Amino acid sequence: MTLQHFMKEAISPWMRENGPDNDIVLSSRIRLARNFAQYSFPILANEADLQHISEFIRQEYEHQSFQDYHDFAFVPVKDLTPIERRVLVEKHLISPHLAEQDHASAVLISKNEQVSIMVNEEDHLRVQLYYPGFQLNKSLNKVFELDDWLEGKIDYAFDEKRGYLTGCPTNVGTGMRASVMMHLPALALTQRISRMIPAINQLGLVVRGVYGEGSQATGNLFQISNQITLGKSEEDIVEDLQSVVRELIEHERTARNHIMSQSQTRLEDRIYRSYGIMTCGRIIESKEAAKCLSDVRLGIDLGMIENVSRNILNELMVLTQPGFLQQYAKKTLTPHERDVLRASLIRERMQLEN
């Protein structure tokens, strides 16, 4: 498996599959923070120790397979160009933090891109596993099995009272972040989401943008995840998150029905204007593209638009990002050049779908 395998397609293979409630929940993710017991954590470790960890992961797990996750590719971050790093961030295969590293950092990625294991990020290992739609329990059970597979060769830093020890105190305990990516256009249009976020935060959860901590919500996409990792079991964390997500799904569907009954013509006008921009626009900025993709996806979910699939929109959400545009063009582009190419790619993709 080579790096180009992960660069040539905007949408990961697992994202083409359908999942429960995928009209609202795009994906479910479980991420584990793990560290080697015998080495200092990355923030304090010397280069030699970090290099030893990276080389150990390469030797033991490169080209290996675990259950449905085949032919893991080992990709050193230092070998990536700035554009390649950005593409991997845009595909959620690495974090923005890992993309900034130049020492012995790397990522181990399964062929179907459903599993990626970041090496020497904030912790020695950041293990993440995705499922399409609302499948947190399935994701949790599968990541437990994956964790056991890794622990067969690694002695984790673990304390009987505190649990898994991590580079950041907020991850101590389970070392787990469970999250879902949700499309909530109706709650955003009715401005209810801004009132709901503080209540969600009070429940020990956090609402972030597409790329997690520090990112803004664009295209009405919101990442909901747990904040508490200590004092609760992994199952309890997932159950608490699931309860809130179920409520959000219900509120979003209620809001969609309300808009359809009270302002259907205005909503149709908004959706078809965005559809027109996507099929005819010549210059589209990234924020406008995110808005149009959100509107058209809502139109698909409500049955207004029947000749475009959700998968096309999932693909365009990644394909229209700055890194992927420049990877496609095989050169660095100015913001204006990116806006022109973005519009061209969206038009071509929409015409191909039609």
Q: What is the pLDDT of residue 2?
A: 62
Boundary-marking domain end, from 230, 252, 274? 252
258 within some domain: no
Q: Can you give the CATH number for the domain in which 103 is found?
A: 3.30.590.10
| Residue the block writes with tokens 């490169």 | 62
Domain shared by 330 and 229, yes or no: no
> CB within 8 A of 300, min separation 6: which ones?
306, 308, 309, 310, 313
Boundary-marking domain end, from 201, 218, 252? 252
Domain shared by 208 and 344, yes or no: no
Domain shared by 77 and 226, yes or no: yes
C-alpha to C-alpha distance for 279 and 296, rounded to whole angstroms: 11
220 within some domain: yes
- pLDDT (tens digit, 0 to 9) for every residue of the chain, 354 residues total? 566 767 777 778 888 888 999 999 999 999 999 999 999 999 889 999 999 999 999 999 999 999 999 999 999 999 999 999 999 999 999 999 999 988 899 999 999 999 999 999 999 999 999 999 999 999 999 999 999 999 999 999 999 889 999 988 888 999 999 999 999 999 999 999 989 999 999 988 999 877 655 556 688 999 999 988 888 999 999 999 999 999 999 999 999 999 999 999 999 999 999 999 999 999 999 999 999 999 999 999 999 998 888 888 888 988 899 999 999 999 999 999 999 999 999 999 888 766
Identity of residue 176: M
Domain shared by 196 and 268, yes or no: no
Known binding-site residue numbers: 27-31, 92, 126, 177-181, 208-213
Known binding-site residue numbers for ATP: 27-31, 92, 126, 177-181, 208-213
Domain shared by 241 and 339, yes or no: no
Q: What is the pLDDT of residue 102?
A: 81
> CB within 8 A of 123, min separation 6: which ones?
33, 34, 35, 41, 42, 166, 167, 171, 175
Total domains in the fold of the chain:
2
Domain shared by 237 and 316, yes or no: no
131 within some domain: yes
Domain shared by 245 and 269, yes or no: no
90 within some domain: yes
259 within some domain: no
Which domain range does residue 280 map to? 264-353
* 61, 109, 113, 164, 178 from 157: Cα distances, Å: 20, 23, 27, 6, 21
C-alpha to C-alpha distance for 328 and 157, rounded to whole angstroms: 42
257 within some domain: no
Alpha helices in 203-321 (DSSP H): 234-280, 286-301, 310-319
Is the CB of residue 33 less than 8 Å from the CB of residue 42?
no
Domain shared by 207 and 96, yes or no: yes
CB atoms within 10 A of CB 17: 14
Q: What is the pLDDT of residue 5?
A: 67
Domain shared by 201 and 340, yes or no: no
Domain shared by 272 and 182, yes or no: no
pTM attached to this predicted model: 0.92
Domain shared by 226 and 326, yes or no: no
C-alpha to C-alpha distance for 109 and 118, rounded to whole angstroms: 9
User: What single DSSP character describes residue 188?
Assistant: H
Boundary-marking domain end, from 205, 226, 252? 252
154 within some domain: yes
Domain shared by 200 and 84, yes or no: yes
Q: What is the pLDDT of residue 214?
A: 53
173 within some domain: yes
